[in-house]
Amino acid sequence: MKPTCSGTAKATFGMTTETPSIYLIRTVFLCIILLTVINFISSATALNIELDSPDEAELNEEFTIAISADSEEEYDVKIFVHNAGEGDIERANYVSEIYSPEDDSWEDSWYYLKSTFPNEEDYKIKVIEGEGDMDVCVRLRKSSNKNSNFEQKCAPIEILAPSKKEDNAPEEVEQNDITEEESIDEEAITLESPSDKPAQKQTPEAKQLSLKPQEKIVLNKKISEEIQLDRKIVTSQGSKRSIIIYSFTGFCIIVIILLALRRL
């Protein structure tokens, strides 16, 4: 037989507790919302910097960097070129100098130019060390708060070896030619004052020599051609004589050898 039970049913009341998994999900969800809000606020207040720089520049040659930002506040400016690549930028990675209009001198790019932006937007810098692919960066820091975080914008730049300057050889050659012409003029033409010697009639040759100072003088072109012709004649005659002498000497040697063989 099945046992039978009898009695009254009572309803019980109490509090239920959440399981650990549900509590963790809620916490993570709240953190995500909080981080999203913080990121939105920081992006809304972040300074938008525009950097205009050349794609390449020569070593030790200055070039201009133009910057702009969507703010009217006063900022300290630091512009530099570094060779750190994708790694952390350290003091040793700075390879540039920036021109300071206030001091009228080139300064180390490690330091800020105080309270210059946005009054000035164009800055001159130059790379003093290294070649190849590097990065040029600009940092803006609020002048009113030196301990505030800076805003940074970078762009790639290629540093080239300094180009060789054009030689001034043609100018030097031209100057040497002028000097030689002046020396020839001094040697070939002797100016005589009227007080020293009586006036003499100028022959046609003398008239040819009395040229204006700016005119070039060609001395004795015909004479030089005759001298060259004489040299050619002398050279040809000397070569003929040497051939005759060598032929006569060879003939004598052959005759002596034949006489010696005949006696034997």
Domain residue extents for the chain = 49-160
- Read off the pLDDT of residues 148-157 as tens digits, 9 standing for 90 and up: 788 999 999 9
Is the confidence at residue 250, as pLDDT, over 80?
A: yes
Q: Provide the pLDDT confidence category of residue 251 given band limits of 50, 70 and 90.
A: confident
Q: Provide the pLDDT confidence category of residue 7 given band limits of 50, 70 and 90.
A: low
Q: What is the mean predicted confidence (pLDDT) over 123-135?
A: 95
Q: What is the mean predicted confidence (pLDDT) over 87-112?
A: 93
Q: Given this model, what pLDDT does residue 47 score?
A: 81
Q: Given this model, what pLDDT does residue 176 score?
A: 58
Higher pLDDT, 136 or 44: 136
Class of domain 49-160: mainly beta
- The answer to whether the beta carbons of residues 96 and 126 sit under 8 Å apart is yes
Higher pLDDT, 139 or 261: 139
Q: What DSSP assignment string belongs to the chain?
A: -------------------HHHHHHHHHHHHHHHHHHHHHHHHHHS--EEEE--SEEETT--EEEEEEES--S-EEEEEEEE--TTS---GGGB-EEEEETTTTEEEETTSPEEEEETT--EEEEEE-S--EEEEEEEEEEETT-TTSPPEEEEEEEEEEPPPPPPP-HHHHHHHHHHHHHHHHHHHH-----TTTS---PPPHHHHHH---TTS-----HHHHHHHHHHHHHHHHHHHHHHHHHHHHHHHHHHHHHHHHHHH-
Q: Is the full-model pTM beyond 0.85?
A: no
Q: Given this model, what pLDDT does residue 197 score?
A: 46
